[in-house]
Structure 1
Amino acid sequence: MTITTEFRLRSSALPLVSIPTTFPPDEIVCSHALCIEPDARVFIVEINAEDDVSEAQLAALDEVVTVTLLGERGDKTVFKLTVELDDSISPAFNPERFDGVKMKSTTITPEGWHETKEFKDYETFHDFHITFEDHGISLDLISITSDQSSSNNATGEGLTDRQREALTLAVSRGYYESPRQVTAAELAEELDISQPSLSSLLRRGERQLLTSSLDIQESLNTLSR
């Protein structure tokens, strides 16, 4: 079983946000990251060639230690950047904390990082989330899905249509962001139900997703007997 998450990381101390903040591109793409020492990372980044960002411009950024032009890929210019991490967030990027996390391409804007990551289980994602929040990096969850291909649960997530509707609305409206962008009362009004009914839908839906993702339904059934 794996957990695929889409989220935004927000902090002015995040590496590479200085590029779209300082230069013309609205966003850049990081296709690879490698730890070389506790406070430094190597990133492979792609920048629109038409934005005409040079090695010298990138090297002038305070966080950038070295720059290597790797060439062109389609309409993108590809660079390898060695970046010194801010002391306040460096521990959050320790790769030993997150064994089994697979990174997909990251989109970086002045507001932060937009990432899709695959985790081996929900507990690993939870640890990832808490670690970043503890180091002053906000994580706004956009979506989370589990791969049930290895599960014997024929109904997949096991959510009712109403639970799925409530959870989907809550995620899309920012209920699970920090700080929350919408209240439970506002969600209940949009669904035309009472606030206690909404809270019950979300609670039962969250429990079903967690038990399904953690594959612990059999243990819970045993304990409840």
Structure 2
Amino acid sequence: MKYLRIELRFPPDLIHPVHRLIDESDAVDRDVLLHGTVLSEPDDTFLFYVEGDIDVYADALRSVDRIREFEVTRIDETGHYVFLTQRRDAVDEAMFAPLQRPGIVVVPPIDFRPNGIAQLTVIGTGETLGDALAEFPDRIETTVLRIGEYDWRQDLFDPGLTDRQFDALAAAVESGYYESPRAATVEEVADRIDASPSTASEHLRKAESAMMTAFMELRDLP
């Protein structure tokens, strides 16, 4: 069972009005679609996680006619859940229609980023995934960021390592590189992954940096 981590880039005129308004402000740091219900009805319901100035975000929602209603739940000083219902439009259809087919599952969250970018994970068979990607409109630029065998456990903590970075970390752990006192050298790690010591060291440094950054994002920073 394959998974794809894909990036969708929308041209300016297709960016959701809320996301366009957020792009114009530094007040909102993160806007993540956690769950959604998309039925045959014209209205869809979504749960977002929003990090930043919630008043700015709420004002953006109020300015968009097709947002039917919303409710904000405070988590902490900067984090909020936003539960909203909105009327579907042609851009929503263009984004979700290719992924609404037998043999494909969209794995939340969908991370909305500046400049009209959305990143998401989909799982399925190679053929159905390929068909879905081919059906996105030409104006929505689609990039495959990662591809591999899906493992639900990776979603619990996924720092986005490359295959070589993961191999280097696995070799380091198995060889005792991270034990105290250290039971292996970087040269031994390099031998296990058939790389030079400098290359193995670089893989480990980048992997460690990505893992620590991802870990700290899970915690409330002061």
TM normalised by structure 2 equals 0.54
Percent identity, aligned pairs only? 17
Cα gap change, 1:14/1:122 in structure 2, threshold over 3 Å: closer, same or farther?
Answer: farther
Structure 1: gaps (5+ residues):
149-160, 162-225
Gap change, CA 1:61 and 1:97, over 3 Å in 2: same
Aligned equivalent of 1:8: 7
2:106 to 81, 102, 108: 102
Quote the residue 2:19 is aligned against. 17
**Structure 2 CA distance, aligned partners of 1:81 and 1:36?**
15
Q: Distance in 1 between matches of 2:28 and 2:46?
A: 17
Counterpart of 1:82 (choices 76, 80, 85) is 85
Match of 1:185 in 2: none
Once the two structures are TM-superposed, the CA of residue 85 in structure 1 deviates from its matched residue by 3.4
Aligned partners of 2:5 and 2:120 also within 8 Å: yes
What are the equivalent positions in structure 2 for 1:54-69 lying under 5 Å apart? 55-69=58-72
Q: What is the count of residue pairs matched by the alignment?
A: 147
Deviation at 1:100, TM superposition (A): 3.3
Find out whether 1:114 has 2:118 as its counterpart: yes
Cα separation, partners in 2 of 1:50 and 1:96, compared to 1, 3 Å:
closer
Shift, 1:28, TM fit: 1.0
| CA distance in structure 1 between the partners assigned to 2:104 and 2:77 by the alignment | 31
Q: 2:127 aligns with which of 123, 126, 151?
A: 123
**Structure 2: which 5+ runs fail to align?**
152-163, 165-222
Indicate if the aligned counterparts of 1:92 and 1:132 stay in contact, CA closer than 8 A. yes
Letter of the 1:18 counterpart: R
Q: Distance in 2 between matches of 1:14 and 1:50?
A: 21
Q: 1:59-80: CA deviations, max 9, x gaps?
A: 2224422212234267411101
Q: How does the TM-score come out when normalised to structure 1?
A: 0.53
Q: Is the 8 A contact 1:133 1:139 kept in 2?
A: no
Q: Match for 2:19: what amino acid? A: V
Tell me the distance in 2 between the aligned counterparts of 1:71 and 1:146. 36
- Superposition deviation, residue 36 in structure 1: 3.6
Mapped partners of 1:139, 1:68: distance in 2? 32
Work out the CA distance in 1 between the residues paired with 2:88 and 2:21.
14
Counterpart CA distance in 1 for 2:85 and 2:20 is 14
